[in-house]
Amino acid sequence: MGEPSEPVIRLFGILDVTGEVIAMWIFLVLAAVISLLVTRNLKERPGKLQNLLEIAVGGLDSFFSGILGRENGRRYLFFLGPLFCFIILSNYSGLIPGVGLSKYVKAPTSSLSVTLGLGIVTFVFLQAAGIHAGAKHYLKHFLTPVVPLLILDEFIKPASLALRLFGNIFGEETVTENLYHLLPIGAPVIMMVLSLLFCAIQAIVYTMLTASYLQEFLED
């Protein structure tokens, strides 16, 4: 878990595919399959899977509406919802037996390159959403004597999100791995139980702060 990522395969002689990338591909395939199974035959009286997904979407809708308001919460749920799902699935994937112990499948958020990628995507989304909400208002946000600090702050926000997420998940996996080598029975199980709560908190914090930064652009 704490070891640097090693390429599993190399595509076209230039693209290195690591364990984190393989895990992300698995998530994408699972998400696509589940979405097709649910949406191709929606029912007024939903089955267990459809009901579970509706509860999850409703919970995310309520969560982000509480930060952004009902209208904006639903308007930007298309980004914030999948962002939350990707982070929490990536975090929890590290708790699956065998994940992280080899180079073939690793928790994506335990890699700095993945969390920095999330930070870049978050940065682009925030700027695009701010411009879309009102270009004049967006530019007015920077028309102050401390504009260099404001511009720097816009880069620091997603960078801090990425580094916080990576640091916490990487640290948690490193501790779990060391406990596994020292006390194979007992201690790692306790750490994994604590990680169930810990991983969820990291996903909540990342998306909650992203929604809060978005709200700053949307305020009149």
pLDDT tens, position by position, 78-95: 999 999 999 998 888 877
Predicted structure pTM score: 0.81
Query: What is the pLDDT, as a whole number, of residue 220?
Result: 53
Between 88 and 49, the more confident residue is 88
Between 194 and 160, the more confident residue is 160
Query: What is the pLDDT, as a whole number, of residue 100?
Result: 60
Region for 69 from its dihedrals, namely left if φ exceeds 0, alpha if ψ lies in -120 to 50, beta otherwise: left
Among 43-52, 103-112, 160-169, the range of highest mean pLDDT:
160-169
Query: What is the pLDDT, as a whole number, of residue 196?
Result: 81
Among 73-77, 130-134, 182-186, the range of highest mean pLDDT:
73-77
Report whether pLDDT(97) > 70: no
- Kindly tell me the burial class for residue 137, based on how many C-beta atoms sit within 10 Å of its own C-beta (0-12, 13-18, 19 or more): middle
Between 198 and 195, the more confident residue is 198
Between 99 and 127, the more confident residue is 127
Mean pLDDT of the chain, nearest integer: 81
Enter the DSSP assignment of 110.
G
Dihedral of CA atoms 73, 117, 101, 189 in degrees, nearest 10, equals -30
Report whether pLDDT(62) > 50: yes
Report whether pLDDT(156) > 70: yes
Report whether pLDDT(115) > 70: yes
Query: What is the pLDDT, as a whole number, of residue 5?
Result: 65
Report whether pLDDT(173) > 80: no
Query: What is the pLDDT, as a whole number, of residue 2?
Result: 41
Looking at 141-186, list the stretches that DSSP marks H as alpha helix, in order from N- to C-terminal side: 147-182
